[in-house]
Chain A
Amino acid sequence: MNFLTPEALAFAATLPVVVVFYLLKRRRVARLVSSTVLWQRFLNETQASSPFQKLRHNWLLVIQLILLALAVFALTRPYFAGKLESGRFIVAILDVSASMQSTDVSPSRLGQAKADLAKLIDSMYDNDRVVLLLAGAVTEVRQSPTSAKSALRSALGQVRATDSPTRLLDAIKLAQNLTRNRAKTEVHLFSDGASPDLDEFELQDLSLAYHRVGGSGDNLGIVSLEVRPHPEQAGQQAIFATIANASTNPLASDVSLFFAGRLVGNRRVSVGATNSASLVFIASQGTNGVFRLQLKNNDALAVDNTASVLSLARRNTRALLVTKGNQFLERALRSVPKLDLAVAANLTDSEPAVDFVVLDDVVPSTWPSGNVLAIHTQSTNWFRPSGSIDGPPIVDWKSSHPLLRFVNFDNVQVAKSLAAKPPAWLAPIVESPSAPLVAAGENDGKRVVWIGFNPLDSTWPLRVSFPIFIANAAAWLNPDTRTGIRVGEPFHVRLASEEKPVTVELPDGSTRETKTTTSGELIFGDTFQQGVYTATVGTNELQFCVNLLDRNESDIRSRQSLQMGEYGTVEATVQVSADKEAWRWIAMLCLGFILFEWWFYHRRTA
């Protein structure tokens, strides 16, 4: 026989303590009697007088010593070497997204999910192993595989809901990887099912149990918020907001808009069942500040009742166009409001004092260090030398990209294009079958828009989409616009030219100390709270807003089934069948019995 914890033998030191308790003198009540002769006789006949003879024939003591010795023996966890069937491998995925904060069930969906998961942990066998994953904007392994229920309970107790959208797909993929090539695996998902990405996943042979939490609570939520310069009234800002109602009841609420903490507008909005309403507020803005939109209704989910957006006071964007001559392009750039355009034939300075540079079919001697719109030209650092394609057809474009907002390539023909393979960070947004035509991306804090063909070699400048694209590009390349992100996304911005310490204050008032990269870029990933963050570098302060703005999270109707891939469906599990062991109750009964025995002993002797 072997022992898992032979250190527990140290508890055997308690055995003499029991004996000492028996020898200890009790506090006695003094009583005057006529004579102690009879008492002495009584004592002589019932017990011996010497201390150790007291212990002779004391069966209670013997029983207690045996019990204690057995308990110590059990604590050493003795075992026999043998073969035991391995237990189940359980992956528990706990949804910690914003919708789990809904209070349509008591205390909250997350609280209910934690309680359900605790029941699962209670029903574990000793040889079962459980790994706990938290699925928010990112998937976190909160507890690595373990059989220790206490560790699991402790890990579960520390789980808090985040303000982030749900990304169950990553968690389920991780669970699939964890359970691959294992026998007796189970994946338990504790969620309300509000995840849009599951149809990309094929269930295959994954054993997934979906423990649904929540019901169908009423909720109004802000799903978009944007600030744009008023197109007609100079000096005014237009704040566009969309309020969604996912429930089957029409809902109404007061909506208030605050700028820098001051109320600037108030509306009453009514949203029909499973519908959304758009609102436009017009406000003047003198300084940089945060617009905060607030829904004043007491619905099941509070986190989507607030959204913030940082708006910078308007200043003109400065751009440098380096061209051999392109009237269409120059005119399109000049039509962009609030843009100061300078035109040059070639680029002499590697760091011109502008917000972005437009390189139109020229190869500069040194590539500009800032944001660039490169047309029919390429940096040798990014592209390998390549040939050209004649008449590439446009087959696809990403209309969801901000650059392609309201841009349509339906009737655009290209005569000739570069056949270049862009680097990985430069994502194609307009594609031909053999090569990307337009790509955009960000590298080392600098944004680049690359157009692989000369617009003059195409019909594009004649189409209305061309000036719109140029206006979109001017907005996207303006570094001041990058002040709002979604919960869970990393925030990055160039703050300095070298490595500097940065203090970031979170919406809840806590602060994080970090550093910029060697190139002076701040990359901050702890954005799991919604609200306004303030980064301080030296004496400079920078604010940025983190918002949920997620239609799927605002739709808090709990899903009865999850659509997995094209054909798979996982229905919600009503109850998990589990064998609950009863030995703890019996052990408690045993303890109670020992206590009763102790009381009974004292009652006999008292």
Chain B
Amino acid sequence: MAALISPDLLKRLEQLQLLARRRSKSTAKGERRSGARGQSVEFADYRAYVPGDDLRRIDWNLYGRLDRLFLKLYEEERELPVTIFLDASESMSFGQVPKFDFARQAAAAVGYVALCGFDRVTVEPFPLGDDQLSLAGELRQVRGRKSSIRFFENLAKLKASGTADFNQALRRGAMKQRTPGVSVVLSDFLDPAGYEEGLKSLAHRGSEIHTVQILSPEELEPTAYGDLKVIDSETGAEQEVTFGKYRLKAYRAAVHNYCQRLQEFCRARGVRYQLARSDTPIDDLLLKAMRTGGMWR
């Protein structure tokens, strides 16, 4: 646990609360406000008494004034399903501080905040190797703060390898969601097939989506100059490029445009977007960027 998140950070995370703009539609009890009426301390509405209603919920003060029977309705508090889509493809293992380590820390933090808020947390790593199937099972439907230690251990066991199909992973994850909740996508969004389809299908489920694009410093500002043949670590695709520090500006612009396009795509669909460098302290992302981005308060 210490390897992923420091105790100091954990303490600060405990004070945070996941924000959900929509009411929870989950059926399980929790601490989130929902549209359903049930038992809680939060008054919701009155309704006329019909025979068979629980007499304990009749508002006797109102009966005294109006001489009619009304029932006092309270909001039902439900849990919030939180799904963390964690990109565990080969490309995430690059960087001086590997992007995957950074992503795992972010996933642990989001999961911990959710667990502290009595929400149900599911981590969906993709791609999923055969050796990690049981591990992925352990990371599904985790509830309760007590499960956090086990949750962290399982997260630490995950490894980044293989080729990911981003769209398919998100589409499947969306279909698995029985009720819409909060979805957090931690990825570099560098899939040759694009990211649009996956994000769309997730958004169609009504989930509240937070995306964090994690890029390594080497991707933002390459230091390899000369006549290069760059090889894709996942697909093995080769690309010939002649690069020098005089073209760095053009490269930065290209990366900026790519990220900008992703951000605009997200904004158009109500998806929250954050860009993070893998070499920046995780605190900055969690306590500043995600807080101002509306992830939690």
A: residues with CB less than 8 A from B are 25-46, 603-606
Interface centre among B230, B235, B239, B254 (most CB of A within 10 A): B230
Determine the distance from Cα of A44 to Cα of B251 in the docked complex, in whole angstroms. 11
A606 touches B227 (CB 8 A): yes
Interface residues of B in 42-93 (CB under 8 A from A): 90-93
Q: Looking at A39, A604, A606, which has the most chain B CB atoms within 10 Å of its CB? A: A39
Please state if A33 and B241 are interface contacts (CB–CB under 8 Å). Answer: no
Contact A38:B227 (CB < 8 A) given known A26-B242, A604-B244, A606-B242? no
- Chain A residues contacting B251 (CB-CB under 8 Å) are 38, 42
Q: Are B253 and A45 neighbours in the complex by a CB distance under 8 Å?
A: yes
Partner of B241, one of A35, A43, A603, A604: A43
Residue of B93, B224, B226, B232 touching A36 (CB-CB under 8 A): B232
Task: Name the distance in Å between B279's Cβ and chain A's nearest Cβ.
Answer: 14
The 4 closest A-B pairs by CB, nearest first: A34-B94, A35-B190, A34-B91, A42-B254
Assess whether B227 is in contact with A42, with CB atoms less than 8 Å apart.
no
CB-CB nearest in chain B for A32 = B231
CB-CB under 8 A from A36, the residues of chain B are: 192, 230-232, 235, 237-239
A449 to B62, CA, bound (A): 177
Q: Are the C-beta atoms of B239 and A45 separated by less than 8 Å?
A: no
Task: Report Cα–Cα, A30/B231, bound state, in Å.
Answer: 7
**Is the pair B229, A31 in contact by a Cβ cutoff of 8 Å?**
yes
Interface residues of B in 233-274 (CB under 8 A from A): 233-235, 237-242, 244, 246-247, 250-251, 253-255, 257-258
Asked whether A38 lies within 8 Å of B255 as measured between CB atoms, the reply is yes
Among A28, A32, A43, A44, contact of B227 (Cβ-Cβ < 8 Å) = A28
B118 CB → nearest A CB, Å: 37
For the complex, give the distance between the alpha carbons of A30 and B237 in Å: 12
Separation in Å of the B159 CB from the closest CB of chain A? 15
Given pairs A29-B224, A34-B216, A46-B254, 20 additional interface contacts (CB within 8 A): A31-B229, A33-B94, A34-B92, A34-B219, A34-B233, A35-B91, A35-B233, A36-B192, A36-B231, A36-B232, A38-B251, A38-B258, A42-B254, A42-B255, A45-B253, A46-B247, A605-B244, A605-B246, A605-B247, A606-B225
A–B pairs, 18, beta carbons within 8 Å? A28-B226, A28-B229, A29-B227, A31-B228, A31-B229, A32-B231, A32-B233, A33-B94, A34-B90, A34-B93, A34-B233, A35-B192, A35-B232, A37-B190, A37-B192, A39-B239, A41-B255, A605-B246
Contacting pair B216 A38 (CB below 8 A) = no
Residues B92-113 near A (CB distance < 8 A): 92-95, 99
- Looking at B191, B218, B250, the one whose CB has the most chain A CB atoms below 10 A away is B250
B124 an interface residue at 8 Å Cβ cutoff? Answer: no
With A42-B254, A604-B244 as known contacts, state yes or no: A34 contacts B188, CB within 8 Å.
Answer: yes
Whether A41 contacts B254 by the Cβ 8 Å rule is yes
Residues of B within 8 A of A32 (CB): 230-231, 233
A28-B229, A606-B227 as given contacts; A38 in contact with B247, CB under 8 Å: no
Q: Report yes or no: A39 in contact with B233, Cβ–Cβ below 8 A.
A: no
Is chain B's interface secondary structure helix, strand, loop, or mixed overall?
mixed
Identity of the chain B residue whose Cβ is nearest the Cβ of A25 in the assembled complex? B240
- State which size class the interface on B falls in: 35 or more
Find chain B residues with CB under 8 A from A605 CB: 242, 244, 246-247
- Cα–Cα distance between A497 and B101 once the two chains are bound (Å): 114
A33 touching B233, Cβ below 8 Å: yes
Q: Give the docked Cα–Cα distance between A275 and B239 (Å).
A: 92
Give the docked Cα–Cα distance between A37 and B191 (Å): 7
With a cutoff of 8 Å between Cβ atoms, the chain A residues found around residue B192 in the complex are 35-37
Option from B191, B227, B238, B239 in Cβ contact (under 8 Å) with A27: B227
- Whether B226 contacts A606 by the Cβ 8 Å rule is yes
B254 near A604 with CB under 8 A, answer: no
Chain B residues whose CB sits within 8 angstroms of the CB of A37 once the complex forms = 190-192, 258
* CB of B204 to closest CB in A, whole Å: 25
> Chain B residues near A43 (CB, 8 Å)?
239, 241
Chain B proximity of A245: nearest CB distance (Å): 75
Partner of B230, one of A26, A33, A41: A33
Contacting residue for B219 out of A28, A38, A45, A606, CB 8 A: A38
Q: Give A360 Cβ to nearest chain B Cβ, in Å.
A: 106
Q: Which of B234, B254, B257 contacts A35 (CB 8 A)?
A: B234
Cβ-defined contact, A46 with B250, below 8 A: yes
* Chain A residue at smallest Cβ distance from B239: A36
A29 touches B250 (CB 8 A): no
**With a CB–CB cut-off of 8 A, which chain B residues contact A39?**
230, 239, 241
Q: Quick one: closest B residue to A42, CB to CB?
A: B254
Complex Cα distance, B94 from A35, in Å, reads 9
Q: Which residues of chain B are near A46, meaning CB under 8 Å?
A: 247, 250, 254
Q: Are B227 and A33 in contact (CB under 8 A)?
A: no
Instruction: Say whether B190 contacts A38, CB under 8 Å.
Output: yes
Q: How far is the CA of A449 from the CA of B240 in the complex (A)?
A: 100
**Could you tell me the distance between the alpha carbons of A45 and B250 in the complex, rounded to whole angstroms?**
8
Q: Which residues of A contact B230 (CB under 8 A)?
A: 31-33, 36, 39
Q: How far is the CA of A385 from the CA of B224 in the complex (A)?
A: 111
> With A41-B258, A606-B244 given, is the CB distance from A31 to B224 under 8 Å?
yes
What mask results when residues 181 to 214 of chain B are scored 1 for a CB within 8 Å of chain A, else 0?
0000000101110000000000000000000000
**Nearest A residue to B242 by beta-carbon distance?**
A605
Report whether B219 and A41 are in contact in the complex, using a CB–CB cutoff of 8 Å: no
With a cutoff of 8 Å between Cβ atoms, the chain B residues found around residue A38 in the complex are 190, 219, 251, 254-255, 258
CA of A26 to CA of B227 in the docked complex: distance in angstroms?
A: 7
Q: Residues of B contacting A606 with CB < 8 Å? A: 225-227, 242, 244
Q: Which residue of the partner chain B has the closest CB to A606? A: B244
Residues of B within 8 A of A603 (CB): 244, 246
Q: Which residue in A31, A42, A45, A604 is a CB contact (below 8 Å) of B231? A: A31
Q: Is B239 a contact of A41 with CB atoms below 8 Å?
A: no
Q: Which residue of A lies closest to B247 (CB)?
A: A46
The smallest beta-carbon distance between A379 and chain B, in angstroms, is: 96
Return chain A residues, CB-CB under 8 Å to B242. 26, 605-606
B232:A33 contact, CB within 8 angstroms: yes
Given the complex, which residues of B lie within 8 Å of A604, measured CB to CB?
244, 246-247
Within the assembled complex, what's the spacing in Å between the Cα atoms of A29 and B230? Answer: 8
Most-contacted residue by chain B among A28, A38, A605, A606 (CB, 10 A): A38
- B190→A34 contact, CB < 8 A: yes
B29 to chain A, nearest CB (A): 43
Q: Smallest distance from the beta carbon of B30 to chain A beta carbons, Å?
A: 39
A46, B188: Cα distance in complex, Å: 23
A40 to B255 Cα, complex, angstroms? 10
Q: Which of B191, B219, B229, B258 contacts A30 (CB 8 A)?
A: B229
Closest residue of chain B to A40, judged by CB?
A: B239
Residues of A within 8 A of B233 (CB): 32-35
Cβ of A45 to closest chain B Cβ, rounded Å: 5
Chain A residues in 8 Å Cβ range of B253: 45
